[in-house]
Structure 1
Amino acid sequence: MPTLHQINSNLKNFKMKKIILTLLTVTLFVLTSCNTNKVATLTDQDKTIIKTEVQAVLKQIVESSEARNFEKATEPYADIPEFIAISNGVITGYADFIKSNKDFFDALDHQKYTETDLMFTFIDKKNVILTYGGSALVTMKNLQQIKVDPFAATLVFTKIDDSWKVIYSSETAIFIPIVEDSTIIK
């Protein structure tokens, strides 16, 4: 009979495989749906411009999240019917994504992100996939601290009306509550 630890480990592995499979499927779909015959090859200068513009949007999301500015943090996410968000295996559309983030921000005291990875996959001049990795330290209003490590997000950006918007988000993380040892004398 498997132990609880083995069951949890198997469940985590299953969820991770499911997330990776979903991510690969979406990535392949995005890559194969591009009409490469009509899309001009991006120059290094094009890539640099796109990278700079998208990094500014990511900076807005991260800094606004750290500042608990919900409206500014979610502003770059496109309110379109095609929007998809995946968070640790839960798939939602735009409205539910916004609601779950609003609920989180309402319970949040503060958070701080540490970036370890930032990778770009350029599709064309109006579409780019950004993979962001790192960790975070979160403190809730009830003073519960949570270590988020590792954290990874894949964001698909599309240029809509001359602004970069997130049309797809897939995030996965391991959340570890930080428990104070009450036996230690302060």
Structure 2
Amino acid sequence: MKNKIICLLIVALSIVACTAPPKDKALTHEDKAEIKSEITAIVDSIATSANELRTDYFKKIYWNNEEFIGVDLTGAHSYDEYMKETDEMYASMKSINFVEDQLSIVVFDDKTVVALFEGKAKGESKDGVKMNLNNFNASMVFRNIDNQWKLVYTHESAEQEIMMPETDSTMVEESM
């Protein structure tokens, strides 16, 4: 009887050991490459959406949660504030063109990735103001939430150069 209990205990422990999820399973090179590919596609889609002056993709990929933090040239924002500011800015633009110089991606684990975008942008508002964003940098933290990559934190900075449109005396008088 004692041997049967020991055998059953060994079998039960073996089953638990075989079916338990591995703890801190290291990602393989292939796993990391696949995650980097997924994040690269997301960052490319963010840039494409920006260049097309569309914010619908931002609303899908940025984490709509009270813990989201977006830091840009005007300060730190919640998800709602960041989306409102982004919608307003893109609605005022005639064109914008982000160009990637370099994208670096660090995969920490299967749930956390940091992407560093370096590049530049040129744009023009609907009222003729032209801008250059030189040395544009975006640091982005992605989390895998419910099997979807979400941007949970972003920090953007740039050297911003603004060129006012040529004005004639009529335009100057109207603005006074």
Check if 1:63 corresponds to 2:48. Answer: yes
Q: Residue 41 of structure 1: which of 9, 19, 26 is its match?
A: 26
Q: 1:179 to 1:103 in 2, by over 3 A?
A: closer
Moved over 6 A (4+): none
Aligned residues: 146
Q: Residue 122 of structure 2: which of 125, 137, 143 is its match?
A: 137
Q: Residue 98 of structure 1: which of 59, 63, 83 is its match?
A: 83
Distance 2:137 2:52 in 1: 20
User: What residue in structure 1 maps to residue 146 of structure 2?
Assistant: 161
TM-score (norm 2): 0.77
How far off is 1:105 after superposition? Answer: 1.0
Unaligned regions of 5+ residues in structure 1, if any?
A: 1-37
TM-score (norm 1): 0.73
Please give the secondary structure, in 2, of the residue aligned with 1:104: helix
How far off is 1:162 after superposition? Answer: 1.8
Please give the secondary structure, in 2, of the residue aligned with 1:75: helix
How far off is 1:179 after superposition? Answer: 4.9
Letter in 2 for 1:164: W
Tell whether the 8 Å contact from 1:77 to 1:167 is kept in structure 2 after alignment: yes
Letter in 2 for 1:57: I
Unaligned regions of 5+ residues in structure 2, if any?
A: 1-22, 168-176
Work out which of the two has the higher radius of gyration on C-alpha atoms and give 1 or 2: 2
RMSD: 1.9
